[in-house]
Amino acid sequence: MPLEPYQYLSDVWKDGIFDNKVVFCTGGAGSICSAQVRALVHLGANACIIGRNVEKTENMAKDIATARKGAKVIGIGAVDVRNPEALAAAADRCAKELGAIDFVIAGAAGNFLAPMDQISPNALKSVIDIDVLGSYNTVKATLPYLEKSAAKHRTDGKTKPAKGTGGRIIFVSATLHYSGTPLQSHVSIAKAGVDAMANAVAIEQGPKGITSNIIAPGPIADTEGVARLSREDGREQNARSIPSGRYGTVKEISDATIYLFSDTGNYVNGETLVVDGGQWRTSGVQSSGPFKYPDFLLSGAVVTGVAGGKKSKL
């Protein structure tokens, strides 16, 4: 259903900054990627979203189009990102019907919860194929169009781009592999591969004016991922263990996307933008016991019961 603007972007962005631009997004019917695309459409872009489910993808495209009067949003279903020919055909259709491809979001992904000893080789291969091979196929299918856009919209950082920005790609990754995450070995392997690919694209395609960056979301509220991969009775405590004290919102991923695709991201290339409230940095904190995070810090209590405790003199 249509969202209110405050639900998918902040009010700091100027209307029209993506006028006459086109975004191509795999996984575009998902809760995070659809919000990213919706924000870009709100700010002037037209879009093409790709998905496997025909009805879901086409309906989401219609829904996203309500973000701006006159917006053109194409939903192409029955496309498996593991099929390079299908992706190439989708990219060609997008460019033909909308005139170009200026921005790409590689967002298709697969996930489930399981320990390594319960994951079959086929299951591991499936996740790697969707995430890594799918992202590779997305780059290959759209690279010719990104090169043209980058050449047309190249900026030196000194002057305002006369026709806006272009030639940019974002890979939607995760933070799971930074410190290790139980039950997510398959996805950690895949996302590490996606990150390596994104950096390779930045190095190889940067001289052509293309930027390649990564957005690594943490737990985002009201998304399919949180609904499928976490227990409802544990979400409140999980949120408390995040330094920011809450789950993120799709708006915060969209804002990061706008930053990287707009004039503000001109000199950002080969970077990982983690949007997780600081969650991945708390892997070593105690979730129970006398120094439970963040309760012990918020209590103002003095550390006792250990030889290394020392009362502050402040």
Does residue 290 have a cis bond before it (omega within 30 degrees)? no
Burial of residue 186 (CB within 10 Å: 0-12, 13-18, 19+) is buried
Q: Which helix (H) or strand (E) holds 148?
A: helix 134-152
Residues 6+ away with beta carbon under 8 Å from 283: 178, 179, 180
C-alpha to C-alpha distances, 170 to 81, 261, 300, nearest whole angstrom: 16, 9, 42
Catalytic, out of 31, 173, 254, 262: 173
Question: Distance between CA 207 and CA 192 in Å, rounded?
Answer: 24
Helix (H, G, I), strand (E, B) or coil at 256: helix
Catalytic-residue membership of 56: no
Question: Distance between CA 311 and CA 3 in Å, rounded?
Answer: 51
Q: Which helix (H) or strand (E) holds 275?
A: strand 272-275
Q: Which residue has the tokens 């489910």?
A: 53
Closest CA to 171 of 78, 240, 105: 105
Question: Distance between CA 297 and CA 192 in Å, rounded?
Answer: 33
Cβ-defined contacts of 72-76 (< 8 Å, 24+): 72/46, 72/47, 72/97, 72/98, 73/37, 73/41, 73/46, 73/47, 73/48, 73/49, 74/47, 74/48, 74/49, 74/98, 75/28, 75/29, 75/48, 75/49, 75/51, 76/48, 76/49, 76/50, 76/51
User: Does residue 226 contact residue 247 with C-beta atoms inside 8 Å?
Assistant: yes
Catalytic, out of 31, 191, 254, 262: 191
Catalytic-residue membership of 31: no
Q: Which residues are catalytic?
A: 173, 191
